[in-house]
Amino acid sequence: MHTNEKQIAVRYALQAFLEPRQLDQAMNIWHGNYADKPTFALQGFVRECSVLFSLENSRNDMYLSLVQHLSTIKMHPKHGTIDMPSPVAINAAPSRAMLTDKSKATEQYEPESVKAFTVLKMVIEQLFGLSGSAAAGEIRTYLQNNLASLQLPKQTSNTLKNWLSGKAIDNDLLEMTVPAMRRLVTLAYVALCEHFGPVRADGILDGAIRYVSQTIPGRRFHPQKLL
């Protein structure tokens, strides 16, 4: 792997943990001390970064993210951007939307609520994916018809309806608290129970959470917080 490719992979892997100035600092450290060293030296790099930026709690996630990105990186010939690494799925087929999500190539620092909503969308989409197309349509309709029970602001409710209808939405404009997101996931769970029964519903929800957790390791917002 060329140094350039490694540099891009490292930058990409750390984007979820560091702010832009911190990321630049980390990349300088990597260039200066670790760029020409083998992969096992990443431990030292991660230790240095976690101490420097007070991210000891995220150290394992950072290391996992680096390993994953470095091991599966490939340059996209057409756009010069990086494809998402193939996620490790457990009993789950990744949804098409997640695999072709190019937004991460130019990911900037996001507010916590936006990160949370991004994770929420991934979880819900994964629930649809694991349910199969026929059931997904019914669950989608159930969610749209029962959004009122979540007692959300009208604009938020309309935005969610648009998203569930497949229309593009602006994440930044959505004002949705984590408890409200949790209620949406619960509503989806209820729909899954009605459709499949509680045993399979638990399995689908578990599969979705695990998949999203492993697909985006290190994100500050863990999908389990939606449970």
Partner 1 sequence: MKFIITVLFSLFPQCVWAGPESVPSVEAIDTIWVATACCLIFLMQAGFAFLESGMTRTKNAVNVIMKNYLDCCYGGLVFWLVGFGIMFGSNPTGWIGIDHFAPSLMSHWEYTQLLFQMMFAATATTIVSGAMAERTRYSGYLIGAIVISGLIYPVFGSWAWGGMFGSNGWLKEMGFIDFAGSTVVHSIGGWCSLAGVMIVGPRLGRFGSKGEVRNIPGHNLLLVALGAFILWFGWFGFNGGSTVKADVTIGKIILNTHLAGCSGAVGIATLLLVMRKPVLLTTVLNGSIGGLVAITAGCATMEVPLAILTGLLAGILVYFGAAFIQKLGLDDAVDAITVHGMCGIWGTLAAGMFYTDNMFDLGIIGVQLIGILAAFAWGFGCSLLMYTLLHKVVGLRSDALHEQRGLDFTEHAELGYPEFQQIETHNRSEIR
Q: Which spans of this chain sit near partner 1 (rule: CB under 8 A)?
A: 182-183, 186-187, 189-190, 192-199, 201-203, 205-206, 209-210, 222, 224-225, 227
Question: At closest approach, how far in Å is the CB of 162 from partner 1?
Answer: 25
Q: Which is nearer to partner 1, 73 or 205 (CB)?
A: 205
Question: At closest approach, how far in Å is the CB of 187 from partner 1?
Answer: 8
Q: Which is nearer to partner 1, 57 or 108 (CB)?
A: 57
Cα–Cα distances (Å) from 127 to 27, 29, 34, 160, 214, in that order, read 36, 40, 40, 16, 15
3-state secondary structure of 171: helix
Tell me which residue of 70, 79, 101, 86 sits closest to 5, measured CA to CA: 70
Question: At closest approach, how far in Å is the CB of 94 from partner 1?
Answer: 18
What's the CA angle centered on 90, arms 123 and 211, to 5 degrees? Answer: 20
Q: Which is nearer to partner 1, 12 or 189 (CB)?
A: 189
- Give the whole-angstrom CA distance, residue 146 versus residue 84: 34
Q: Which is nearer to partner 1, 42 or 204 (CB)?
A: 204
Tokens for 96? Answer: 């098409």
Question: At closest approach, how far in Å is the CB of 198 from partner 1?
Answer: 4
Question: At closest approach, how far in Å is the CB of 182 from partner 1?
Answer: 7
Question: At closest approach, how far in Å is the CB of 127 from partner 1?
Answer: 12
Spatial contact of 29 and 88, defined as CB atoms under 8 Å apart: no
Is the alpha carbon torsion for 84, 85, 86, 87 positive or negative? negative
Q: Which is nearer to partner 1, 66 or 124 (CB)?
A: 124
Q: Which is nearer to partner 1, 59 or 222 (CB)?
A: 222
**1-4 CB contacts, 8 Å cutoff, 24+ apart:** 1/70, 1/73, 3/35, 3/36
